[in-house]
């Protein structure tokens, strides 16, 4: 069985005090959640959010991690730094990191391996652009990312993949339930072929394309979808709780 995982990606939103207030409001709303609940917060919010989620089911995540243990990498954060503050999950390779900050499949792979070595659970993002989807290149793009982003991983039960169709992020557009399920099914099938014998069957794959309170139940009813990486809908406690409690 693959336990569903709903993770909120706050992106560059919420000061530390605002983040603490948000999770305080969220805690009672998700206390009976049947899925794993994660909030991936800006680095500076981590201490306040950690304190605020104490005693709840909510787990703490970050939005990026560097691949080096230490060194002259101004502005970066290492896996050990995150681990010491109680971070359990970290988003790697989000489309915004790839588009705006030069993230590549090579650096995604290095960051993923560094996170695993520190005992963090990477949420690794892959997906295609609108141009690539309309050009019939979705599978080709995913094949390339699958081959490059996950080299050297021995146990895929320790990672989460977030399939994020880039064309559906922040646009209000969403893949249909069937489209999302079909593409995630393709990812799982391809992963099993490329990384056979490495616990791929236990790996969870989220949908990361504008999941919200209105469409969560339909998407989560699909057999291949193991959760969601939630953007804007995670910034309001009531909205995010409705996604978490999709099965009620």
- Provide the mean pLDDT of the chain: 95
Bridge-based pairing of strands 227-230 and 5-9 is parallel
pLDDT of residue 90: 98
Confirm if 110 and 67 have CB atoms less than 8 A apart.
yes
The percent helix, strand, coil of the chain (3-state, each to 5) is 45, 15, 40
pLDDT of residue 129: 87
pLDDT of residue 171: 66
pLDDT band at 192 (very low <50, low <70, confident <90, very high): very high
pLDDT at 123 over 90: yes
Q: Which residues contact 248 (CB under 8 A, 6 or more apart)?
A: none
Taking the alpha carbons of 36, 203, 165, 102 in that order, is the dihedral positive or negative? positive
Query: Does residue 66 have an active-site annotation?
Result: no
Q: Of these residues, 94, 128, 132, 224, which one is catalytic?
A: 94
Closest CA to 157 of 205, 202, 195, 100: 202
Question: CA dihedral defined by 29, 34, 38, 39, rounded to 10 degrees?
Answer: -20
First to last CA, the chain: 20
The predicted-structure confidence for 158-186, as pLDDT tens digits, reads as follows 999 999 988 776 666 667 999 999 999 99
Owner of token pair 């605002």: 18
pLDDT at 23 over 80: yes
Query: Does residue 164 have an active-site annotation?
Result: yes
Q: Which residues contact 56 (CB under 8 A, 6 or more apart)?
A: 23, 27, 30, 31
The predicted-structure confidence for 64-97, as pLDDT tens digits, reads as follows 999 999 999 999 999 999 999 999 999 999 999 9
H-assigned helices in 102-168: 105-117, 130-134, 138-149
The CB-based long-range contact list for 181-185 (8 Å cut-off, 24+ gap) reads 181/219, 181/222, 181/223, 181/224, 181/225, 182/224, 183/138, 183/142, 184/222, 184/224, 184/225, 185/224
What distance in Å separates the CA atoms of residue 150 and residue 190, rounded to the nearest whole number? 12
The predicted-structure confidence for 193-203, as pLDDT tens digits, reads as follows 999 999 999 99
Q: Of these residues, 36, 96, 132, 164, which one is catalytic?
A: 164
pLDDT of residue 170: 64
> Which residue segments constitute the domains of the chain, with CATH numbers given?
5-244 (3.20.20.70)
pLDDT at 130 over 90: no
Confirm if 170 and 231 have CB atoms less than 8 A apart.
yes
Q: Decide which of 130 and 24 is more confident.
A: 24
């Amino acid at each position: 069985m693959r336990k569903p995982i709903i993770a909120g990606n706050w992106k560059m939103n919420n000061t530390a005090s605002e983040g603490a207030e948000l999770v305080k409001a969220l805690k009672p709303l998700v206390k009976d959640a049947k899925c794993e609940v994660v909030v991936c917060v800006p680095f500076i919010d981590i201490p306040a959010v950690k304190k605020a989620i104490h005693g709840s089911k909510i787990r703490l995540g970050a939005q990026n991690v560097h691949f080096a243990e230490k060194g002259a990498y101004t502005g970066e954060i290492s896996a050990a730094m995150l681990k010491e503050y109680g971070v359990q999950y970290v988003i790697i390779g989000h489309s915004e990191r790839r588009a705006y900050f030069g993230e590549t499949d090579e650096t995604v792979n290095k960051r993923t391996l560094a996170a695993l070595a520190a005992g963090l659970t990477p949420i690794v993002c892959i997906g295609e652009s609108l141009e690539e989807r309309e050009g019939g290149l979705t599978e080709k793009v995913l094949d390339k990312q699958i081959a490059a982003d996950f080299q050297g991983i021995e146990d895929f039960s320790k990672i989460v993949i977030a399939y994020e169709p880039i064309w559906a992020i922040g646009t209000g557009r969403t893949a249909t339930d069937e489209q999302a399920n079909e593409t995630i099914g393709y990812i799982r099938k391809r992963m099993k072929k490329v990384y056979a014998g490495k616990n791929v069957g236990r790996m969870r794959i989220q949908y990361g394309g504008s999941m919200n309170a209105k469409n969560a139940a339909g998407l989560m009813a699909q057999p291949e979808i193991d959760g969601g990486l939630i953007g804007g809908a995670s910034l309001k406690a009531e909205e995010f709780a409705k996604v978490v409690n999709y099965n009620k």
